[in-house]
Structure 1
Amino acid sequence: MFIAPAFANTAVGGFDLMGFLPMIVIFVLFFFLLIRPQQKKMKEHQKMLSEILKGDEVTTQGGIVGRVTKAGEQYLSIEIADGVEINVARAAVASKLEKGTIKSL
């Protein structure tokens, strides 16, 4: 029985880069289309959270809209109605609104 040299090479465990090329391409596409944009979005959100000051109008992840009355390192006090304040974690803020979005509390 004669085994061709090309078949013998692959049977012994020769490394075939072309076999891994599709996985490498998929990983590169996955990185540029999913991972990188998500990292950029997280950086922007962290920057926005660090810039929240007293008087800013914010929306929490739960949908509560209010004006920041006290800004601590980890927690914020948000006035959601006249005389009604709640304390929320700074990380629970979903977005910062433009000044004047909330007309009256």
Structure 2
Amino acid sequence: MEILSQLLPFVFLIAIMYFVIIRPQQKEAKARKEMIMALKKGDRVITAGGLIVVIHKVEDQFLSAKINEETVVKMTKDSVIRKYEDEA
């Protein structure tokens, strides 16, 4: 019984860490993965480098993105941070 009373604070601390740190990170990672999988031609996204680009072509691991009318670059899907929504 004494061992249980000594372990209870550690169990409580681990439970708090799970609900405050680990679970929200897992939810955010899942939402980001779903967003990346749902990208399609014409979507505007923000890259890790801070560029706002338009998706030109979607492949398994890569995206082709238009920076301007003449420039199309190939980048990894992991470099997409989030979709860009106009704030107007």
* TM-score, normalised by the number of residues in structure 2: 0.91
**Residue 80 of structure 2 aligns with which residue?**
93
Q: CA-to-partner distance for each residue in 1:19-72, whole Å, 9 max, x for gaps? A: 111110100000000000100000000000000000000111111111011111
Q: Residue 78 of structure 1: which of 37, 54, 65 is its match?
A: 65
CA distance in 1, matches of 2:78, 2:2: 48
**Residue 67 of structure 1 aligns with which residue?**
54
**Gaps (5+ residues) in structure 1?**
1-13
Aligned length: 86
**Gaps (5+ residues) in structure 2?**
none
CA distance in 1, matches of 2:62, 2:20: 34
Identical pairs, percent: 31
Contact 2:52/2:84 (<8 A) preserved: no
Task: From the CA coordinates, give the structure whose radius of gyration is larger.
Answer: 1
CA distance in 1, matches of 2:71, 2:3: 67
The code of the aligned residue for 2:31 comes to E
* TM-score, normalised by the number of residues in structure 1: 0.77
RMSD of aligned C-alpha atoms?
A: 1.3
**Residue 16 of structure 1 aligns with which residue?**
3
